[in-house]
């Protein structure tokens, strides 16, 4: 067994990492937009008509009434008869998120988003200017609230995992410091699923072996953790012992895309393969558009279907030749669905995912029977259609199958597709 050395205080210069988490983000933005909602139970919910009628976010008063994320609108109203239901405004959420990031930029350029409402900041090089991590965290909380009307909870620690844990420990509008000196006392007694990357399935596996707390993970042998959870188990052991050394990315670094997916929940259940294919055609165009924007090609396609019992089944297949063409994605997606899916229950939602992405400038080896001329012809048509839609609107050109209706929500998502000649 190779030796593992856990850094101790004094061995290396500790970093100062902040994790900033916007409290009740969607609901807080709605209250900032409409001050009459402040102090009242507010729930941001999807549209019930589009079968998205669940709670996406809730204000602090709504949370105190027992309303939880994932509750249906009916459940939310049952828990709190005075709850105010508002529909999400994602453009506003994005704009507020960018405003808050602009505030973070005053202190550091090492800013790594973790979703729209969370960011890690490495302020190690800023302490000579702005004070220690706790002081910077308090200043950020005051500034964010003053300039945006939103509040943040901030975790301050010597690594990203513990900083994230700190921001979760005390909410709303609070600063929590976890140092190398006191992290064992502060966090080892917390349940194991409080640790980043310990999801529901992983927690159940840990519980089977009597591992209930973060301290239990830390005190287990690394070989045992690797045995029951593979590499992830060993990583969790390092995290629990304070040995996370992952850096905070620079704000200008864009993460490499590993896959591109688009999915939709239909207003009515799909009852046949033909109806599913109409929806898939819409989704493949959206996936194709994103791949083209990122200059990527897919080498595999996956289709995920959720039936009325909310069971999800996924089917995937490798492409004969890398592509970002909507028609080729569509053909492969329909093929993998028809070959594998047994239509026992009606389908509620479908997702199409392009994976194993490579650059569109990569050299590719052709097979003898592959029709590269047809591939290029389809690509040229797609390029032209993309230019038309970008200039005149997404619905300027669409697939003929949409004339028969696709049971997709209207006014909620981008409706673009290929013309009849392309499918």
- Domain spans, the chain: 11-181, 188-255, 259-422
Active site residue 185: no
Token pair in block for residue 29: 């933005």
Catalytic residue among 30, 118, 275, 277: 118
Phi, psi (deg, nearest 5) at residue 257? -70, 130
Topology of the domain comprising 11-181: Alpha-Beta Plaits (3.30.70)
Same fold flag, 11-181 and 188-255: no
Is residue 278 a contact partner of residue 336, using CB atoms and an 8 Å limit?
Answer: no
Cβ–Cβ < 8 Å for 262, 283:
yes
Count of alpha carbons within 13 Å of 56, Cβ hemisphere only? 20
Specify the pLDDT at position 52. 61
Nearest to 332 by CA among 286, 354, 301, 299: 301
Walk along the chain (423 residues) and give the pLDDT tens digit of each residue: 345 545 554 445 789 999 999 999 999 999 999 999 999 999 999 877 656 678 999 999 999 999 998 888 899 999 999 999 999 999 999 999 999 999 999 999 999 999 899 999 999 999 999 999 999 999 999 999 999 999 999 999 999 999 999 999 999 999 999 999 999 999 999 999 999 999 889 999 999 999 999 999 999 999 999 999 999 999 999 999 999 999 999 988 877 778 999 998 887 888 888 889 889 988 998 899 889 888 899 999 999 999 888 888 999 999 888 898 888 899 999 999 989 888 888 898 999 999 999 887 765 555 555 566 666 676 676 767 667 766 666 666 666 555 444 454 543 333 333 333 334
**Domain 188-255 in this protein, CATH class:** mainly alpha
Q: 67 with 55: CB under 8 angstroms?
A: yes
| CATH number for region 259-422 | 3.30.1490.100
Maximum Cα interatomic distance, the chain, rounded to a whole number of Å: 70
pLDDT at 419: 32
Are 173 and 152 spatial neighbours (Cβ–Cβ below 8 Å)? Answer: yes
With b for 16 or more beta-carbon neighbours within 10 A and e for fewer, the 347-369 pattern comes to bbbbbbbbbebeeeeeeeeeeee
């Amino acid at each position: 067994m190779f030796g593992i050395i856990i850094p101790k205080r004094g061995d290396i210069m500790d970093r100062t990492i902040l994790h900033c988490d916007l409290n009740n983000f969607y609901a807080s933005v709605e209250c900032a937009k409409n001050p009459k909602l402040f102090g009242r139970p507010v729930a941001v919910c999807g549209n019930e008509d589009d079968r998205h009628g669940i709670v996406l976010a809730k204000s602090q008063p709504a949370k105190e009434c027992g309303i939880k994320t994932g509750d249906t609108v009916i459940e939310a109203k049952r828990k709190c008869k005075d709850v105010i239901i508002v529909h999400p405004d994602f453009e506003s959420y994005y704009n507020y998120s960018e405003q808050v990031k602009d505030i973070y930029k005053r202190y550091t350029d090492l800013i790594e988003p973790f979703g729209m409402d969370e960011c890690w900041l490495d302020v190690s090089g800023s302490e000579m200017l702005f004070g220690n991590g706790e002081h910077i965290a308090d200043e950020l909380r005051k500034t964010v609230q003053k300039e945006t009307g939103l509040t943040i909870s901030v975790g301050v620690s010597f690594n990203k995992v513990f900083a994230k844990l700190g921001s979760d420990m005390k909410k709303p509008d609070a600063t929590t410091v976890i140092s190398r000196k006191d992290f064992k006392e502060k966090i080892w007694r917390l349940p194991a699923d409080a640790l980043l990357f310990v999801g529901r399935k992983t927690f159940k596996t840990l519980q089977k072996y009597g591992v209930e707390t973060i301290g239990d993970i830390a005190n287990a042998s690394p070989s045992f953790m690797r045995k029951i959870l593979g590499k992830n188990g060993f990583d969790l052991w390092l995290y629990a012992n304070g040995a996370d050394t992952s850096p905070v990315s620079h704000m200008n670094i864009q993460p490499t895309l590993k896959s591109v997916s688009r999915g939709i929940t239909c207003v009515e259940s799909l009852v046949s393969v033909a109806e599913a294919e109409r929806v898939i055609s819409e989704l493949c165009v959206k996936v194709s558009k994103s791949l083209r924007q990122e200059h990527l090609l897919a080498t595999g396609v996956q289709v995920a279907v959720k039936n009325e019992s909310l069971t999800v089944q996924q089917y995937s297949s490798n492409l004969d030749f890398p592509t970002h063409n909507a028609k080729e994605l569509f053909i492969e997606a329909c093929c993998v669905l028809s070959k594998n899916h047994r239509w026992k229950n009606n389908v509620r939602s479908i997702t199409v995912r392009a994976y194993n992405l490579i650059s569109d400038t990569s050299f590719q080896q052709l097979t003898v029977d592959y029709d590269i001329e047809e591939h290029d012809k389809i690509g040229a048509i797609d390029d032209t259609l993309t230019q038309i839609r970008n200039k005149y609107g997404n619905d300027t050109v669409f697939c003929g199958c949409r004339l028969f209706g696709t049971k997709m929500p209207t006014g909620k998502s981008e409706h673009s597709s290929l013309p009849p000649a392309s499918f």
